[in-house]
């Protein structure tokens, strides 16, 4: 299932809750495409569409800057037993909800005036476009700058 459609279904289910953020953790998609109101097992891995081809190495999805925002405060993380790599994936997706973009992407529009740095994409930090880099347990300086800028704008 397309992660954009899936995150929208999660937003419909959980996005209006009173919590600051809801993280859905699964080893499989929790949504039936034909019935978004019911949570069920669909036996389809989280996947993305890349240049018209299915790309099933997506490990999470979150709304950028979604923390504390009604209708946007949801992240979904896929844990693949027996790897149990969800800790780093949760940290990565929560950073997205805190306004951090992937290293190499421009800063989130809501904080672009405060966080002007664009991270290098291939240093292997936590927000690198692909997982398991040499610095994967650490955020790059510009990711930290983006998170600080976002948090400073929270009310």
Catalytic residue numbers read 93
Q: Is 138 annotated as a binding residue?
A: no
Instruction: State whether residue 60 is helix, strand or coil.
Output: strand
Distance CA 142, CA 155 (A): 22
Cα radius of gyration (the chain):
15
139 neighbors 147 (Cβ within 8 angstroms): yes
What does each C-alpha distance from 28 to 19, 32, 54, 75 come to in angstroms? 23, 11, 16, 14
Q: Is 102 annotated as a binding residue?
A: yes
Distance CA 91, CA 88 (A): 5
**Annotated binding-site positions for Zn(2+):** 92, 96, 102
């Amino acid at each position: 299932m397309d992660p954009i459609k899936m995150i929208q279904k999660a937003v419909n289910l959980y996005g209006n809750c009173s919590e600051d953020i809801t993280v859905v953790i699964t080893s499989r998609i929790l949504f039936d495409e034909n019935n978004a109101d019911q949570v069920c097992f669909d036996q389809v891995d989280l996947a993305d569409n890349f240049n018209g081809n299915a790309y099933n190495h997506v490990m999470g999805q979150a709304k950028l800057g979604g923390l504390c925002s009604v209708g946007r405060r949801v992240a979904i993380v896929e844990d693949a037993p027996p790897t149990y790599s969800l800790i780093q994936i949760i940290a990565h997706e929560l950073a997205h909800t805190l306004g951090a973009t992937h290293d190499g992407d421009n800063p989130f529009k809501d904080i672009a005036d405060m966080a002007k740095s664009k991270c290098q994409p291939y240093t292997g930090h936590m927000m690198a476009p692909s997982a398991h880099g040499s610095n994967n347990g650490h955020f790059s300086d510009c990711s930290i700058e983006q998170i600080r800028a976002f948090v400073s704008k929270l009310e």
